[in-house]
Structure 1
Amino acid sequence: MRKITAKSIVFITGAFVTNACWDEWRAYFEINGYKTIAPAWPFKNGTAADLRSRQPHDTDLAALTLTELTDHYASIVSRMPEKPIVIGHSLGGLITQIIVNRDLAAAGVAIHSVPTLGVFPYEYSFIKAGWKSLGIFSSLKKTYLMSFKDWQYAFVNEMSLEEQNIAYQQFTIPESKTVTRGALTTAARVDYKKEHAPLLFTAGSIDNIIPAHLNYRNYKKYAKNNSVLAYREFQGRNHFVLGQTDWKNDAEYILNWLKAT
């Protein structure tokens, strides 16, 4: 297996938050010699306050599909001078897996990833944290904005109230229910038997919306072949892992894994 030599990183944002959640991660990896980008989703350019002001009538975002979103990032990756490393969080982790499966990445890191099709998310905390975003009892023509109470449970559990409030104001934005529902369809399919670029899964012991057990079952779905495949669970990490006070420990682990692989 050839070592990872790529020096470009594409960060892929998950649902419910702005791409600004990667700012500190980008700075960390750039200090360590990488060129990075963290492109926004279509129709999500702007600050959290700007995007929330459009709620719930951002019809363009509401109509966005997971297939369109995945192809958006795949197009960005494909246009780069070299195959980049792709690092995605949550729904971005799912998209990362698909991009790796398409042979477009030099390596992939799926941080607290939404599972691919074939890994049924039966965990109670996943259902409690995420069911409203699927739009089962509301119109798909309107976007969904996570309430602060739901944010506390789904993203920032066990953080201080002040930290929870700051994170909510800085990062929480409306979401397309069509995209989140797409994660339960063939748009989220990968070929688990196919050989692929090195792929690392990371999970958090206190993540409610994507429990570690769910991450582990996604990791175990992949066939044991000639591919590099790794899994690491971090203690004390909730779904807001990118912005927790000790986020740098996770980033350092990923950096070292990339260098060693």
Structure 2
Amino acid sequence: MKIQKTLLVIALLLMNSATLFSHHSNDKDMKEKQIKSKTVVFIHGLFMNDQTWNEWKTLFEKEGYTCYTPANPKHEGNPASLRQNPPEGLENVQFQDWITNLETLIDSLPEKPILVGHSFGGLTAQKLVEAGKAEAAILISSVPPKGNITFKLSFLKANNKVISRSKGNTIFNPSDQEYKDWFHYAITNTLSKEKSDELFEQYAVPESRQTPRASLQKIAKIDTKKPHVPLLFIGGLDDVIVPNVLIRKTIKKYKDKDSIVDHKFYEGKDHFICGAPGWEEVAQYSLNWLSN
């Protein structure tokens, strides 16, 4: 009898859990998205620039989208050159500068765009969605809004090197072997060191420490209870710097029952899911989601 009661309680809990999470699934009965925009704005993350989206841009343009890949302030140029000669004033770039830069672009477009953001670009996209600047958003390995945190040691280790207050307002410049090792640990941990170093040379740029610190500040708060455009969260189950537990917490915070929040997690993928080998699968899934 006790066993039967225990099973009944578990079943009820599972039913309640399924009900609470139902509008976050990829269920066929989900409300139709009706995404009409054919304009896409790609938003790069920290330690990267617009170069990370070159192949995505080509793929999306083949499918009839008009694509924009803006560099965030002080991120313009060749990554290797930026590492050797960091732009003057980079250390003063704030999260608000990213937002303002993108709002200026979006307001100049003939229609509200679809936003595709990676990492801190994902958090930026969420802020722009909240401000009514998007038709839909795809959030890849997205930094969570203020209030979502985990105390996993690997997460703390990966982030502390970047946001530590002991570093002041210096530039985080991944120009030496120490930062190549950090890149492999925090960004490309599922890849070989050789492949990680190759991607580092191709994409890594110096970064303002003030920008990522904003994730702990009021500016990174988002009203997740208000109605919003369709959102797709994508993550790698082996992500260290933004572990999937944080992405799942973010998903659950979006409460409006009439708004769409979908998700897709990939086994064996790390934080750089949109630029490492196999990016095509992620990009194609994104395209399918937009058209279905």
Task: Choose from 68, 84, 87 the match for 2:113.
Answer: 84
Query: Which position in structure 2 is the counterpart of 1:154?
Result: 186
Matched, 1:199 2:227: no
The alpha-carbon deviation at position 134 of structure 1 amounts to 0.9
Query: Which position in structure 2 is the counterpart of 1:41?
Result: 72
The alpha-carbon deviation at position 84 of structure 1 amounts to 0.5
Unaligned 5+ segments in structure 1 are: none
Task: Choose from 182, 195, 209 the match for 1:177.
Answer: 209
Query: Which position in structure 2 is the counterpart of 1:145?
Result: 173
State the structure with more CA Rg. 2
What is the CA RMSD across the aligned residues, in angstroms?
1.3
**Bigger shift: 18-27 or 120-129?**
120-129
Contact 2:227 2:256 in 1 (8 A): no
Query: Which position in structure 1 is the counterpart of 2:276?
Result: 244
Matched, 1:18 2:46: no
TM-score relative to the length of structure 2: 0.85
TM-score relative to the length of structure 1: 0.95
Query: Which position in structure 1 is the counterpart of 2:27?
Result: none
Query: Which position in structure 2 is the counterpart of 1:258?
Result: 290
Task: Choose from 232, 236, 242 the match for 1:210.
Answer: 242
Percent pairwise identity: 34
Alpha-carbon separation, structure 2, partners of 1:224 and 1:232: 20
Alpha-carbon separation, structure 2, partners of 1:180 and 1:4: 31
Q: Secondary structure at the match of 2:207?
A: coil
Structure that is richer in helix per residue: 2
Query: Which position in structure 2 is the counterpart of 1:4?
Result: 35
Contact 2:187 2:240 in 1 (8 A): yes
Query: Counterparts in 2 of 1:52-201, with a 5 A limit?
Result: 52-55=83-86, 58-140=87-169, 142-146=170-174, 147-201=179-233
Q: Secondary structure at the match of 2:212?
A: helix
Contact 2:73 2:97 in 1 (8 A): no
Q: Which runs of 4+ in 1 moved over 6 A?
A: none
Alpha-carbon separation, structure 2, partners of 1:230 and 1:182: 26
Q: Secondary structure at the match of 1:86?
A: strand
Amino acid at match of 2:91: A
The alpha-carbon deviation at position 68 of structure 1 amounts to 1.8
The alpha-carbon deviation at position 126 of structure 1 amounts to 1.8
Deviations 1:99-147 (A, max 9, x none): 111111000111000000121243322211111111411120x210240
Contact 1:123 1:214 in 2 (8 A): no
Alpha-carbon separation, structure 1, partners of 2:233 and 2:108: 25
Q: Secondary structure at the match of 1:137?
A: helix
Amino acid at match of 1:226: D
Query: Which position in structure 1 is the counterpart of 2:10?
Result: none
